[in-house]
């Protein structure tokens, strides 16, 4: 069989994700100016929508950058050069927290566990007792490199008993799994536009608690474009300090309307069901998951023995237009990753599982066609 590019693209990577048609159309219209009553009112709507999706009453800032820009903004605004940070490291994105801290001369205390495994809260408490001058703890809600959903609620309880601030990378997790920013004591939450928020890449968001603001005000600014005090000042007037990515804000407004119409709890419940169905299919195929506590927003799976992972992913793409993600860092060539966030629905899950079965059979694996689809369908039928 020839592997021509399929006519119908199916993007099931954990970012970027597909964008609803209304959001795409919003971007296709003529550019308008941002210092206008119309845009201010749109920005106020978007900010309110983000607060709802982040489950927070804290200030939410909109940055024109990819998610990593907001991670950097959180680091440089909260921790002074020479200050101390505890990084909870168990994957590619948590590693990025450490690298950003190191780039700004911050002393990093590392709590590292193998990729895909959980942190022990008692160990976090012990490290914070040992390092009482820790300014901030950097964690990850959904570690996209492994599909691990970290227990931020439990981590928040431990950090909340110390003076340290809790900073969470929720870039892919927020909107795809439960995240209660205020109730869990998250002082700075970082989110990106191109994952569960169903918006093209280019915007990032930061929810900042009153305690985090006090810390930001107490240290000399180490950034200009990313000086968060400028964003807070502008926010008071429903404005941004610099020209925002106006078409992306319009797209985001549409995507947030979709999420709010569905409801946050329903959105979370939907990803949970899709994740359970996907895992049932994967298990029926005899494949192994990477994460000890798999997240609701995506699933990371080891390739079966004896399969060329790149050929497997290329075949899914060529034969079905189905784009899944491969592995990163030490997991490169060893795993694949399927998103079930944003626009992904039940039929996407079933067709993905069916495509996996077909390609595994075509690549000589001993798989009985239909077994995994049946297992996934059963979960969907029971959840309905
Ligand atoms: C995608 C992602 C990032 C990086 O975001 P960019 O927009 O690529 O800068 C960081 N952390 C997590 C958990 C992610 O999923």
Asked if 268 contacts 53 with a C-beta cutoff of 8 angstroms, the reply is no
pTM of the model: 0.97
Atom of ligand 1 nearest to the CA of 194: 7
Q: Which residue has the tokens 């966030």?
A: 341
Q: Using most ligand atoms within 8 A of CB, pick from 94, 148, 172, 188 the residue to mutate for ligand 1.
A: 172
Q: What is the pLDDT of residue 4?
A: 58
How far apart, in Å, do the first and last CA atoms of the chain sit? Answer: 38
In order of start, what are the domains of the chain with their CATH numbers?
A: 10-16+263-382 (3.90.1150.10), 21-261 (3.40.640.10)
Asked if 94 contacts 118 with a C-beta cutoff of 8 angstroms, the reply is no
Torsion of Cα atoms, 192 then 49 then 43 then 206, to 10°: -40
CA-wise closest residue to 38 among 213, 263, 29, 80 = 29
CB of 144 sitting under 6 A from ligand 1:
yes
Q: What is the pLDDT of residue 122?
A: 98
Express each pLDDT in 92-102 by its tens digit.
999 999 999 99
Q: What is the pLDDT of residue 5?
A: 61
Provide, rounded to the nearest whole percent, the portion of the chain with pLDDT above 70: 98
Average pLDDT, integer, range 130-134: 98
Rounded distance from Cα 198 to ligand 1 centre (Å): 14
Rounded-to-integer distance, Cα 318 and Cα 332, Å: 20
Q: Is the pLDDT of residue 18 over 80?
A: yes
Q: What is the pLDDT of residue 3?
A: 52
CA-wise closest residue to 267 among 297, 300, 230, 232 = 297
CB of 15 sitting under 6 A from ligand 1:
yes
Rounded-to-integer distance, Cα 177 and Cα 276, Å: 13
Q: What is the mean pLDDT of the chain?
A: 97
Q: What is the pLDDT of residue 246?
A: 98
Atom of ligand 1 nearest to the CA of 66: 7
Please name the residue whose Cα sits nearest to atom 5 of ligand 1. 67
Average pLDDT, integer, range 132-143: 98
Rounded distance from Cα 366 to ligand 1 centre (Å): 36
Quick one: how far is CA 52 from the chain centroid?
A: 17
Express each pLDDT in 80-92 by its tens digit.
999 999 999 999 9
* Peptide bond just before 16 cis, omega within 30 deg: yes
Q: Is the pLDDT of residue 1 over 90?
A: no
Average pLDDT, integer, range 194-209: 98
Rounded distance from Cα 115 to ligand 1 centre (Å): 16
Bridge partners, 174 (sequence order): 177
Express each pLDDT in 52-64 by its tens digit.
999 999 999 999 9
Average pLDDT, integer, range 200-217: 98
Average pLDDT, integer, range 272-281: 98
Q: What is the pLDDT of residue 146?
A: 98
Q: Using most ligand atoms within 8 A of CB, pick from 15, 70, 98, 143 the residue to mutate for ligand 1.
A: 15
Q: Is the pLDDT of residue 173 over 70?
A: yes
Q: What is the pLDDT of residue 384?
A: 87
């Amino acid at each position: 069989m020839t592997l021509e590019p399929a006519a119908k693209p199916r993007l099931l990577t954990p970012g970027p994700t597909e964008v609803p048609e209304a959001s795409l159309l919003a971007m296709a219209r003529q550019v308008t100016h941002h210092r206008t009553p119309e845009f201010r009112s749109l920005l106020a709507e978007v900010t309110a929508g983000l607060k709802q999706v982040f489950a927070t009453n804290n200030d939410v800032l909109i940055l024109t950058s990819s998610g990593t820009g907001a991670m950097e903004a959180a680091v440089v605004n909260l921790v002074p050069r020479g200050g101390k940070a505890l990084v909870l490291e168990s994957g590619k994105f948590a590693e990025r927290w450490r690298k950003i801290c190191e780039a700004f001369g911050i002393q990093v205390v590392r709590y590292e566990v193998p990729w895909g495994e959980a942190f022990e809260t008692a160990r976090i408490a012990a490290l914070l007792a040992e390092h009482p001058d820790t300014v901030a703890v950097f964690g990850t809600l959904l570690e996209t490199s492994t599909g691990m959903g970290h227990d931020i609620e439990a981590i928040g309880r431990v950090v909340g008993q110390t003076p340290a601030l809790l900073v969470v990378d929720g870039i892919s997790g927020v909107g795809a799994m439960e995240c209660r920013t205020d109730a869990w004591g998250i002082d700075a939450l970082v989110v990106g536009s191109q994952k569960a928020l169903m918006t093209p890449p280019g915007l990032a968001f930061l929810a900042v608690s009153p305690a985090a603001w006090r810390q930001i005000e107490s240290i000399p600014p180490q950034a200009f474009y990313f000086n968060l005090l400028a964003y807070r000042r502008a926010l008071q007037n429903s404005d941004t300090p610099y020209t925002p990515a106006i078409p992306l804000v319009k797209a985001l407004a549409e995507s947030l309307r979709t999420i709010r119409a569905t409801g946050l709890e329903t959105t979370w419940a939907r990803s949970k069901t899709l994740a359970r169905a996907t895992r049932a299919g994967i298990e029926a195929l005899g494949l192994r998951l990477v994460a000890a506590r798999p997240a609701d927003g995506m699933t990371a799976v080891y390739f079966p023995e004896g399969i060329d992972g790149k050929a497997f992913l290329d075949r899914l793409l060529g034969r079905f237009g189905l784009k899944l993600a491969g592995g990163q860092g030490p997991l490169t060539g060893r795993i694949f990753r399927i998103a079930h966030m944003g626009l992904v629905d039940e039929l996407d899950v079933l067709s993905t599982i069916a495509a996996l079965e077909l390609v595994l059979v075509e690549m000589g694996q001993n798989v009985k066609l239909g077994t995994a689809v049946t297992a996934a369908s059963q979960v969907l039928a029971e959840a309905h």
